[in-house]
A and B are shown apart, each in its own frame.
Chain A
Amino acid sequence: MSLVFPFSAIVGQDEMKRALLLCAVDPRIGGVLVLGDRGTGKSTAVRALAALLPPMNAVVGCPYGCDPKSSNPCEQCRSRRTAGNTLPKSAKIPVPVVDLPLGATEDRVVGSLDLERALTKGEKAFEPGLLGRANRGFLYIDEVNLLEDHLVDVLLDVAASGENVVEREGISVRHPARFVLIGSGNPEEGELRPQLLDRFGLSVEVRTPTELKSRVDVVRRRDAFERDPAGFVEQWRKTDAKVRRQIDAGRNQLESVQVSDSALEQGARLCIALGTDGLRGELTLLRTARALAAFEGASQVEDSHLQRIAVSALRHRLRRNPLDESGSDIRVERAMSEVFA
C-alpha cells in the first residue's frame, strides 16, 4: 500500500478531524457526512484516519474480522465456538477502512457467489462483499451524492441494522456488518437525497481556508509530501502516534465517562429548542459529547463538550425546511446560546 498523507499534517478543518476521531472512539455515533468545497482534504482525511487507527483484535481466518469476545459473531465463528468449546485464535489486525468505489456493482457490495470456486469447482460458496469486509471498521464513499440510488438504499439499510442479509438462488447468508459510514461530497455537484442526510450521526461542513497562512501551509505540506512521501510521513509519525494513543485511551475510558442528569437535560432542551424530529438527535448529541469527553480524558460530560459538538450533531436534523439549509449552523448556535445562557 502506498503511503498516505498523515492525519496530523492536515491543515485546519478541525471540525472534520474531530468528527472522524470521535467516530473512531465510539463507532455508535453513526458515521460522518462530510460536505464541502473542492480540494478541502475530505478524502485525504479519511484515508489518513485509516493509517492512524490502533489495530484491533480479530479471529484469525474470519472473513468478517469478528471480535473473539463478541457476543454477536458471524455464523462461522459462532459454530466454531459452540462446537470447539475453545476460542479460536485471534490476532491484531488493522481496522478495515473500505473504499466503496463509484461504479461498484451490487453483488460486490453485499457479497455474492464466489466466482472462482463456482466456475472451477462448481461449488456454491458465498464470497463476502465490501460490507462484510468493512465489519468493525469504516466504509468510505467519496462523492456519496453520485452513488446510484439502489446502492445507497442497501447501504443505509445495512448500516442501520448492523447486519447484511443475502438471499439469492441457493445462497442464504447473514453476517454482521457494523461499520462507521463515512460519506463525502460536494452538494453543488449533485444533490444529496434528503433521506440520506439524517442517517449520518454527524455532519460536518468543510470550507477552503480563507487566511493566506493556512492556504500556504496546505500547499507547502502537500508539495513536501509529494516530493518525499516517506520522509514527510516520518516527520509526522510522532504526532500521529500521539493521536493514536489518545484514541486508544478514549476508547478505554468511554464507558466510565459520567453523563450527569443536567447534561441530559441540556441536550434535551437544545433539541426541543431546535425542534428536531425524534430522539436520534439527542442520542447522537450525548454519545458524541461523551466520546469527546473520553477523548480529552475528562471524567464526565460538561456543557463545553456538548457545545463543541452540537453543531455537527444537529445541523442536518433541523426541521425540514429546505430554505434554511445554509442557516442551520446559525440556528443551532442561537439555540445553544439560549440553552447554555
Chain B
Amino acid sequence: MIDPRWQQALGAAALFAVDPSGLGGVVVRAAPGPVRDAWLEALTELLEPGTPIRRIPPQVPDSRLLGGLDLTATLHAGRPVAERGLLAEADGGLVLVPMAERMGTGTAGRLAAVLDAGEVRVEREGIASCWPARIAVIALDEGLETEDRPPIVLMDRLALWIDLEGISPRHLDPGPWDASVVAQARAAQATFETQVSDGDTSDAIEALCRVAEAIGVDSPRPVIAALRAARAAAALEGRSELAEDDVALAARLILGPRATRIPPSAESPESSELSEPPESSEPTESLASAESSGDASPPPPWDPGQPDSSEAKRSDPDPGDPDPGDPDQAPDSIDDGKPLAEVVLEAVRSALPPGLLAQATDSRQTRSRASAQQRSGRVGAVRTDPRRGRPDGTVRGDPRRGPRLDLVATLRAAVPWQRLRRREGSSMLVEVRTNDFRVVRRVQRATTTTIFVVDASGSSALNRLAEAKGAVELLLAECYVRRDRVALVAFHGQNAELVLPPTRSLVRARRSLAGLPGGGGTPLASGLDVGGAVADTVRRQGDSPLLVVLTDGRANIGRDRQPGRPRAEADALLAAQHWRAEGYAALLVDTSPRSHPAAQALALAMGARFLPLPYADSSVLSGAVKATVSGTLGAERPRHAHAQVRV
C-alpha cells in the first residue's frame, strides 16, 4: 500500500528538484530516522548529478559559514588568502541544516540574506569579498513541540514545508518521478519562464492571491514561490502552460501548511463573515484527529483530482512536444466552470495543518489577520535568545580577566602585523600582542518566564475581565522592563488553552490579550493544568517559571469538562496542590468583586501569594510580582533572576 503522505512528500521533492533555487528550499519536519533518510536520498537522486550538498550545524561559527581569512594559507603565503565559507561552497547546490529548530535567529538571518541575494557578502577579518552562492536550504526540523520550529525569517523563504511524522518506514515506495523526467522538466522550466503567456500567469496569480487571503497567509513570498512551483509542476507534466492542477498542487503544497485560518466555505465565497463552515471544518478536524491518534491511514492530502502518480506516468513527459494543456481539458475537469481560485482553495483545504481549527475558531473573534497569525504558535513561534552561556561571537578583550581566549581568532588578528613587528625587531615566528587578543563572548540569560493564567469565563467577564486585562498589561510592562518572557493561558467555556506560547514580544502578548474572548463556564482545573504544563516546559528549557493566575476562584467545570461546582472546585484544588508540589512560584489575583474564600483557599493550596484586585493598582501588582520572583526563586538563583550576564 502506498502511503499518500509519502507520495506527497516525494511530489514535493520532485517539484523542488526542478527549481531548487527558485523555491528556496524545504522544511522537513521529521525525527531523524529511516523515513527522513529515504526522503533525502530520493531528493538527492532527483537533483542534477554533482550538485554540491553541505551540512551546516546549527551553531556554526561565522568564519566557517560565511568565510574569512584563511589562517594557514595566509601564514604560508605571506599575503592575505581568503577562505570561502560553507555557503559559498554550496553554490548551485543545497545547504542541509540538521536540528534547524535550534538554529539561532542570527544564523537564520545570514542564511536569509544569502538566499535573497544569491551571493555571500563577507566583511570579516580584513577580507571584503563577494562569492556567488545560489543555494537552496533543506531545513531538517526535528522539534518535538509544535512551537519548536526553525526561525520564521528562514521558514518564510523556504517554499515547501513537508511533514514526514507518522509515515511508516515499511512502505517507502519510490515515487513516479525519476531523474530523467526531472532533468527534462528542469530544462523545460528554463525556457518556460520566457514562454509562459501573461494571461495564464495572470489568472494563476490572482487565484493564488485569493487563496492566500482566504487562509490568512500574509507574506507575499509564499505566493510568488507557489507560482514558481506551479510552473515546475507543469514542466514535470511536460506541459508548457499552467493548468488548473498545477496551480492547485502548488497552492496545496506551499500555501496550505502556512494557513492561519480556515477559509470560508466554497458554497458561500461571497460571505466575508468567517462563520463556521461545516464543509471546511470537517476535513480539517478529521485530519487533525487522524494525526493526533497516530493513525496514518485516512484522509489523503494527496487525493482526488490531483496529478497523482498514475497521471504523472500517463502524461507525456516529452518537453519537445508540449501538451496543449488547456486548463479546461486538464485531467481534472470535474470543476469545470468554477473560477480557478475556488478550485485551488478546495485543494488547499485538504492540506490545512492539523490543530488549525482551534486557532482559527479562536481567531475568528478578532478579525485582524495579523493577530490570527500571531496566535498560531505553529507559525509565529520564534525562539530568539540563547538560554545559557552560549558563545556569542568573538570580541577584542583581555583573557586574563576571565573570558576564554579564542586562539584562532587571536592568531588571525595577529597575522597581518607580523611583518611590521619583525621590522620592529621581533624575532619570533608569530608575535602576539595584547591588542590581538580575541576572547569568546558568552551571553548568559537566566530569565523568568511569566505565565499568565487568565480566567475568561462568563462570571469573570461579567465582573472584571477588562480590569484583569488591565492588570495583566501592567504586569506585561513590568516583564518588558525585566526582559522576561511571557506566556498566556486562558480558560473559559469547556477548556483551557495556551493562547500565547512563551515569547519576548510584548506586541504579541498585547495582541493576544486584546483578542481574548470571554464567556462560558469556568474550567479552572483545566486552566491550572495547562498553566502547569507550560511551567514545566519552561523549566526544562532552563528558565524560571512564574505563574500569575487571575480568577475569581469560582470553578464550575471539572477536569472531565462536565459542569458541577463541587466537583470542579475539588479538581481545581487538586491542580493547585500539584503546583505547590512542583514548587512553582505563583501569584493569584482575585478578580471577584468582593474577596471570596474560594480564591483564597486556592491560593493557599498552590502556595501562591494572594492579591485581591480591588487593591491591585499598578505599584502593588508589580511589587507583588517582584516579591514573588525574588522570594520564591531567591533560593535557587541569584537575586537578579533576570540578570543578563556577559562574560
Contacts and interface: CB of A to CB of B under 8 A. Distances in A.
Interface of A: 37-40, 43, 99-109, 112-113, 115-116, 118-124, 127, 129-130, 142-143, 146, 148, 150, 168-170, 186-191, 207-208, 210, 212, 215-216, 218-220, 222-223, 226-228, 321-323, 325-326
A99 B511 CA distance: 33
Nearest to B74: A119
Contacts of B110: 101-103
Contacts of B511: 326
Interface in B112-132: 112-113, 116, 121-128
Contacts of B392: 148
Interface in B500-533: 504-508, 510-511
**Interface bin, chain B:** 35 or more
Interface of B: 62, 65-66, 68-69, 74, 78-80, 105-106, 109-110, 112-113, 116, 121-128, 151-153, 156, 193-194, 196, 201-202, 205-206, 208-210, 212-213, 218-221, 223-224, 227, 369-370, 374, 380, 382, 384-385, 392-393, 395-396, 413, 415-420, 422-423, 433, 435, 473, 476-477, 480-481, 504-508, 510-511
Nearest to A98: B123
B438 to A, nearest CB: 10
Contacts of B224: 219, 222-223, 226
Given A191-B504, A227-B194, A215 B223 contact: yes
Contacts of A43: 116
A109 B481 CA distance: 31
A230 B205 CA distance: 22
Contact of A119 (B223, B385, B415, B435): B415
B476 A103 contact: no
Given A101-B110, A188-B380, 6 more contacts: A105-B125, A106-B395, A108-B128, A115-B127, A122-B420, A189-B151
Contacts of A210: 369
A326 B123 contact: no
A249 B79 CA distance: 48
B145 to A, nearest CB: 19
A148 B393 contact: yes
A27 B504 CA distance: 34
A325 B473 CA distance: 12
Contacts of B476: 322-323
Contacts of A187: 505, 507
B218 A37 contact: yes
Nearest to B118: A2
Given A148-B393, A219-B205, A102 B106 contact: yes
B208 A219 contact: yes
Contacts of A119: 74, 78-80, 415-416, 418-419
Given A116-B79, A122-B423, A190-B105, A143 B477 contact: no
Contacts of A207: 370
B392 to A, nearest CB: 8
Contact of A219 (B152, B227, B481): B227
Contacts of B109: 102, 142-143, 146, 189
